[in-house]
């Protein structure tokens, strides 16, 4: 199991804006009204080794059926946090996006093969259900 799947299984996520994959890949991200951008890859294990308590508890508040599985969204233990995730048919994590200042994500929609997650502060992010990192460009 990767670090993120272990955390997910215990309803926790790192307090680091990021796109995390069950296979162990982790990317720092930035979000604003223009969407989500990849900043750089990083090692989640190193981050957790530096500060193993830098975690938040999460609550799934929304779940929808998507092709090949589910998508879910919710909030962290602080009011400003939100996340949305792609799960397989067994509700096993494929990827999760966590944002510390987005507010909770409470609306999920699917169009074609894209998932749109909208937060209570009206931040809206659209990512492909599969391989969302391939659709995001890194900052220059």
- The reported pLDDT for the residue numbered 140 is 38
The model scores a pTM over 0.85 = yes
Residue 138 DSSP code? B
Contact 69, 94 (CB under 8 A): yes
Q: pLDDT 10s per residue in the chain (140 long)?
A: 899 999 999 999 999 999 999 999 999 999 988 889 999 999 999 999 999 999 999 999 999 999 999 999 999 999 899 999 999 999 999 999 999 999 999 999 999 999 999 999 999 999 999 999 988 865 53
- The reported pLDDT for the residue numbered 18 is 97
């Amino acid at each position: 199991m990767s670090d993120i799947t272990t955390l997910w299984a215990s309803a926790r996520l790192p307090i680091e804006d990021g796109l995390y994959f069950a296979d162990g890949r982790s990317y720092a991200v930035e979000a604003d009204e223009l969407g989500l951008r990849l900043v750089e890859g990083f090692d989640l294990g190193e981050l957790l080794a530096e500060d193993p308590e830098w975690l938040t508890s999460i609550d799934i508040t929304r779940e929808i059926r998507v092709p090949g599985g589910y998508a879910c969204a919710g909030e962290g233990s602080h009011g400003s946090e939100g996340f949305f995730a792609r799960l397989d048919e067994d509700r096993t994590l494929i990827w999760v996006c966590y944002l510390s200042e987005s507010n909770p994500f409470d609306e999920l929609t699917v169009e074609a093969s894209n998932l749109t997650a909208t937060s209570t502060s009206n931040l809206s992010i659209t990512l492909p259900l599969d391989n969302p990192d391939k659709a995001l460009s890194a900052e220059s």
